[in-house]
Amino acid sequence: MRLGFTMRDVVVAAALMFAAAAGVARAEPALGNWSVGAGNDGQITASLHASNKLITGGGALGYSPVLILACRRDGEPRWSEWLQLNDAVSASRKITISVAVDGGGKTDESWSVGPRGRTLVRDGDDGIKRLASANRLTLSWRFGLLSGRGEADFELAGLSDVIGQIAASCKTDPP
């Protein structure tokens, strides 16, 4: 019984591991920095952290806002976008967000303010459509009358695969 490994055994094992890993890598879509999952309420979500940091109200720490794309299997609206913040906005129902896609001109959109003002929501598939072929998204908003502005930049690498995966999991067509 032989207990030692020869160099040939090591090379063969490494080649098999590399081939297996390469096969797995090809089978998965290129999602970039996106995280795809399912929520407790049956929504399929994909989240992406902003490439920049915002300084918290106290000024000591920074955080990256999170963009979330969501699809409901049943019910309306089927598609929505969320922006999660650590600092609350002072608006109570609606807030205007300036949107720039791929460095183009800014467009103002009305987003709903979620509980405690830390989640901003835009329902409908038109927002997802505008991002489908985009590479970069910049969102900017006012925290409040005297609180200044926030801005979040998102590098959207892998987005088309993400939208396809969400739509398939949601059993619907991509927007």
- Domain range holding 125? 35-170
The rounded distance, in Å, linking the Cα atoms of 135 and 34 is 13
Predicted local confidence at residue 46, as pLDDT? 96
Per-residue model confidence (pLDDT) at position 29:
52
User: What are residue 69's DSSP bridge partners?
Assistant: 46, 81
The stretches in the chain having pLDDT less than 70 are 1-30, 57-60
Q: What is the pLDDT of residue 91?
A: 86
Is residue 87 within 8 A of residue 57, CB to CB? The reply is yes
CATH of the domain at 47: 2.60.40.1880
- What is the pLDDT, as a whole number, of residue 1? 41
Q: How far apart are CA 164 and CA 112, in angstroms?
A: 26
Number of domains the chain contains:
1
Contacts of 92 (CB under 8 A, 6+ apart): 113, 117
pLDDT at residue 145, as a whole number = 74
Residue 4 lies in a domain: no
Note whether 138 and 153 are within 8 A (CB).
Answer: yes
Q: What is the per-residue pLDDT for 59?
A: 67
Residue 80 pLDDT: 94
Please count the CA atoms within 13 angstroms of the CA of 105 that sit on its side-chain side: 2
Residue 77 domain-assigned? yes
In three-state form (DSSP H/G/I as H, E/B as E, the rest C), the secondary structure along 90-149 is CCCCEEEEEEEECCCCCEEEEEEECHHHCEEEEECCHHHHHHCCCCEEEEEEEEECCCEE
Would you say residue 88 lies in a domain?
yes
Distance (Å, whole) CA 17 – CA 172: 37
Residue 8 lies in a domain: no
Phi, psi of 76 (to 5 degrees): -125, 150
pLDDT for the residue numbered 60? 67
Residue 70 lies in a domain: yes
Indicate whether 3 belongs to any domain.
no
Q: What percent of the chain has pLDDT over 70?
A: 80
The token duo for 29 is 């879509």
